A and B are shown apart, each in its own frame.
Chain A
């Protein structure tokens, strides 16, 4: 993986250091070109049109689905384009055929997008109980805790693959075995994993996998829901493009992903996401992972060595990725983020990271500063970041 060549596709990196990819990644030129090419050269709606542009658009949009499916090693037709991970998870919450007495197990590590949909189901009385598994002191979820939480009324376990605050990796394969044993569905929130580690949904053993295109070099407004069994959930939206046949008092749903993509989808975004997947494949997910791992080590070691800096979550590289939360003692995380930008043009996230239950549990009322890395970051940038953090601790 040639990082310098890759950086040339992100001209904005000439003037800033971007360490907020966990919120949304930057977008490389080829992805922008693919989206623009759609608008400029062949814009049409997808579906049943027969003219030339409609044919090109439909084929490119289908290809994008196929590419993204291959990216997560998914077979069959269960790959649906959504607006984002949030929409994908909500589609499961409203699309599963819930039964009286159903329970859901989730965790305290979840992003709000994999927490609120379940909390609301409980509030509405759709599910009877929401059982919440807590992480250990290092922020890691442990499989045996799920065994305790799951019982024969548990319909679904909804868990993040990687924490968006701590970067810690959940034991999905072990969890999958527990779910299979208990005849429970498993939903994995892959928003932080799909962009950074190679995904094989078959190997993970989940029933639903949701992630965001915009965190993996794709345009905003792109997300993905993979469903093992399309018949297992009902569409949440009804209208154009999702049916085989409609009469005055009946309708028949389309066979493939189309039934979950009612109305004109984000066509340019989808095609752009397909190109983003090509881009990641060209870079090589294995190389990307080892590049990020090298930078993460440097970042963790550097931060831990600075006085008055507290790093959260496991420091063991095999348990985590380059999403690193920390605080400087006595300084509000938002102020740290502002200073990093002012002093060194470094962009990081600060605050509660849409993960309030976890931060409350960890006793971090003001939240954390979060630096997150991607394929375009360099060792020099990490050095610059560490230098600036050290300077800030000196000033305050």
Chain B
């Protein structure tokens, strides 16, 4: 995940030869039923989870059962899904993904989040706090962190150069581990964009919270799907933008 590189630092009116840790970025090409589906730039860990999560959020598979085969060799992931010649011609929607570019999610067919989950405000604070302390994040300043939680605590944390990739990784993990997403919530480091909101809604994850901001389109989508978006979770403050019924004002922290 981390690579030490040479760099020249400008310091005290002068250039100094130095070193710095940067986050690894590599291409991964996904072939579905022998056809090139997408090439994304990702951080090279949890590749399997990424592929599964990505195919799921793009609507290519509905569950892991539909994934007949997955072989990953370095920068190529070969996937076979149940129907060998299923043609991939879903309607493309351009979103603001910083690594992905295109998405096959169809905004006119938004999913509906079906969940009774209610969580307490301090659980949101705890979750966001727990993903903010990553070493890699601290050293490189170049990764996003996404965590999948339930009321019992942390299920899985992933790091990636892209927020969307990191979210796909935790979704992929949840699918392979047979996690019921309706009982979970997501905490992340970056902006909650429309694509983040869509991915959570498709997976039936009812709450997404971030230290960062959100966008107008993400809020529009969340209003339609029933997703609860929480932004600017800092210290003991937060902005709840949609579906606030899922968050109870319960404080203080149990410790």
CB of B84 within 8 A of CB of A37, answer yes
Q: Which of B33, B68, B69, B71 contacts A52 (CB 8 A)?
A: B33
Residue of B33, B34, B68, B80 contacting most chain A CB atoms (<10 Å): B34
B71 near A53 with CB under 8 A, answer no
Is B78 interfacial (CB 8 A cutoff)?
yes
Closest Cβ–Cβ distance, residue B72 to chain A (whole Å): 11
A51, A56, A62: the one within 8 Å of B84 (CB)? A56
Instruction: Determine the distance from Cα of A37 to Cα of B69 in the docked complex, in whole angstroms.
Output: 16
Closest to A38 in B: B84
A339 to B69, CA, bound (A): 48
A37 CA / B68 CA spacing, docked (Å): 14
Residues 69-95 of B, flagged 1 when their CB comes within 8 A of A and 0 if not, give 101000000101000110000000000
- The A-contacting residues of B in range 80-115, CB under 8 angstroms, are 80, 84-85
A290 CB-CB contact with B under 8 Å: no
A59 and B85 contact, CB distance less than 8 A:
no
B237 within 8 A of A: no
Q: Which residues of B contact A52 (CB under 8 A)?
A: 33-35
Complex Cα distance A53/B34, Å?
A: 6
Of the candidates A42, A51, A54, A60, the one whose C-beta lies within 8 Å of that of B69 is A60
Q: Is the beta-carbon distance between B84 and A59 smaller than 8 angstroms?
A: no
- List the A side residues contacting B80 at CB < 8 Å: 56, 59-60, 63
Closest CB in chain B relative to A196 CB, distance in Å: 27
Interface SS of chain A: helix
**Chain A residues, Cβ within 8 Å of B241:** none
Question: Cβ of B71 and Cβ of A59 under 8 Å apart?
Answer: yes
> For chain A residues 14-63, which have a beta carbon within 8 Å of chain B?
37, 41-42, 51-56, 59-60, 62-63
Q: Are B84 and A41 within 8 A (Cβ)?
A: yes
A51 and B71 form a contact (CB under 8 A):
no
Given A41-B85, A42-B84, check contact A59 B69 (CB 8 Å). yes
Min distance, Cβ B87 to any Cβ of chain A, angstroms: 11
**B232 is an interface residue with CB less than 8 A from chain A:** no
How far is it, in angstroms, between the C-alpha of A192 and the C-alpha of B78 when the chains are bound? Answer: 35
B31 at the interface (CB under 8 A from A): yes
Nearest chain B CB to A137 CB, angstrom units: 50
Given contacts A60-B69, A63-B69, are A55 and B84 in contact (CB under 8 A)?
no
Asked, given contacts A42-B84, A42-B85, whether A56 binds B33 with beta carbons under 8 Å apart, the answer is yes
Chain A nearest CB: distance from B65 CB in Å?
Answer: 13
For residue A51, which residues in chain B have a CB less than 8 angstroms away from its CB? 34
Cα of A63 to Cα of B33 in the assembled complex, Å: 14
For the complex, give the distance between the alpha carbons of A56 and B69 in Å: 10
Q: How distant is B60 from chain A, measured CB to nearest CB, in Å? A: 15
Bound CA span A41–B84, Å: 7
Q: Mark B38-76, 1 if CB is under 8 A from A, else 0.
A: 000000000000000000000000000000110100000
- Contact size class for A? 10 to 19
Residues of A within 8 A of B71 (CB): 59, 62-63
In the complex, residue of chain B having the shortest beta-carbon distance to the beta carbon of A42 = B84
Residues from chain B with a CB closer than 8 A to the CB of A41 are 84-85
Contacts of B69 in A (CB 8 A): 59-60, 63
Enumerate chain A residues within 8 angstroms of B68, measured Cβ to Cβ: 63
Give the Cβ gap from A258 to chain B, nearest Cβ, in Å. Answer: 15
**In angstroms, how far is the closest chain A Cβ from the Cβ of B141?**
39
Question: In the complex the two chains form, what is the Cα distance from A51 to B36 in whole Å?
Answer: 10
Q: Which chain A residue lies CB-closest to B33? A: A56
B34 partner, pick from A37, A54, A62, beta carbons under 8 A: A54
A274 closest partner in B (C-beta): B69
| Chain B residues positioned under 8 Å from A37 (CB to CB) | 84
Q: How far is the CA of A305 from the CA of B80 in the complex (A)?
A: 54
Tell me which residues across on chain A come within 8 A of B84, comparing CB atoms.
37, 41-42, 56
Query: Whole-angstrom distance between the alpha carbons of A54 and B80 in the complex?
Result: 12
Q: How far is the CA of A41 from the CA of B85 in the complex (A)?
A: 7
B69 and chain A: residue at smallest CB distance: A63
Distance of A17 Cα from B90 Cα, bound (Å) = 50
Say how far B163's CB is from chain A's closest CB, in angstroms: 31
- A52 to B88 CA separation, bound complex (whole angstroms): 13
**Complex alpha-carbon distance, A37 and B85, angstroms:** 11
Report yes or no: B85 in contact with A55, Cβ–Cβ below 8 A: no
Cα-based distance from A62 to B69 in the complex (angstroms): 10
State the Cβ distance, B89 to closest chain A Cβ, in Å.
15
The residue of chain B having its C-beta at the shortest distance from the C-beta of A37 within the complex is B84
Q: How far is the CB of B37 from chain A (nearest CB, A)?
A: 11
Give per-residue flags for A343-359: 1 if the beta carbon is below 8 A from chain B beta carbons, else 0: 00000000000000000
CB distance from A30 to the nearest CB of B (A): 13
Tell me which residues from 48 to 82 in chain A have a Cβ below 8 Å from any Cβ of chain B: 51-56, 59-60, 62-63
For A54, the chain B residues whose CB sits under 8 A away are 34
C-alpha spacing A55/B78, complex, angstroms: 8
A51's closest neighbor in chain B, by CB? Answer: B34
Cα A53 to Cα B31 with chains together (Å): 12
Taking the closest CB of chain A, its distance from the CB of B88, in whole angstroms, is 11
- Per the bound structure, the CA–CA distance linking A60 and B80 in Å amounts to 8
CA gap between A52 and B31 in the complex, in Å: 9
Q: Determine the chain A residues whose CB is within 8 A of the CB of B85 once the complex forms.
A: 41-42
Q: In the bound complex, what is the Cα–Cα distance between A60 and B71 (angstroms)?
A: 10
Most chain B beta-carbon contacts within 10 A, residue among A37, A42, A51, A59: A59
Q: How far is the CA of A328 from the CA of B31 in the complex (A)?
A: 62
* Inter-chain pairs besides A54-B34, A63-B68, 5 sampled, C-beta below 8 Å: A52-B34, A52-B35, A59-B69, A59-B78, A60-B80
- Offer 23 A-B interface pairs, CB within 8 angstroms, sorted by A: A37-B84, A42-B34, A42-B85, A51-B34, A52-B33, A52-B34, A52-B35, A53-B34, A54-B34, A55-B31, A55-B34, A55-B78, A56-B33, A56-B34, A56-B84, A59-B34, A59-B71, A59-B78, A59-B80, A60-B69, A60-B80, A62-B71, A63-B80
For the complex of A and B, the 6 pairs showing the least CB-CB separation, nearest first, are A52-B34, A55-B34, A56-B34, A63-B69, A42-B84, A41-B84
